[in-house]
Amino acid sequence: MFLENKANNSRRQGWIEVIAGSMFSGKTEELLRRLRRARIARQNVEIFKPVIDHRYSAEEVVSHDANSIRCTPVDSSGNILLLSGNTDVIGIDEAQFFDNGLIDVCNNLANQGIRVIVAGLDMDFKGKPFGPMPGLMACAEYVTKVHAICVRCGDLAHHSYRLKASDKLVEVGASESYEAVCRTCYNELKQTELKKVK
């Protein structure tokens, strides 16, 4: 009995943490903060991002505040499993751009005793749940919802309003392409768009 309990206590526990919110809400900044703390604790850390996100750097995760950390760009969620190696903590940025297989990948890693920290947009520019993020939020042990400040009125913002006229779901960009806005301002902007179309 004692040996069985000792074996259970020595087993490494894994879990999933999700950091979700709009553009400019500090998701990547929070991801970087948690990963740096893991490194200070001398844990083996691997960071991944989708290969299509090369706004600031091809081989770094970079926040809008220009803080950065080296990462491995991958073109599919399955590659994260292949490249995870001997790690204690895995960070994944811009999770919304990955395929839905990311949910199984994160669960698989957590089941192996790895702490998985995922950051991404919870909604697309149309205000709809984005990619694998809703599924990740559902199965995560910890979910942190962060907010930006509405550039129009100063309230809490949780929508990413696209400034360019484009219907493409994936349109990688920063402040030249998007604004963080609150629900009221988002709805007003959408109404104005509809009037222009008519």
Q: Which of 23, 64, 63 is nearest to 47 (CA)?
A: 63
The residue annotated as part of the active site, out of 4, 94, 141, 176, is 94
Q: Has 94 been annotated as catalytic?
A: yes
Q: Which of 173, 176, 164 is nearest to 53 (CA)?
A: 173
Cα end-to-end span (Å), the chain: 74
The neighbour count for residue 175, using CB atoms within 10 Å, is 12
- What one-letter code names the amino acid at 27? K
Q: Which of 43, 7, 179, 95 is nearest to 105 (CA)?
A: 95
Kindly give the residue spans of alpha helices, DSSP state H, lying in 41-85. Answer: 78-83
Q: Which of 54, 53, 189, 42 is nearest to 127 (CA)?
A: 189
CB contact at 8 A, 103 and 92: no
Residues with active-site annotation: 94
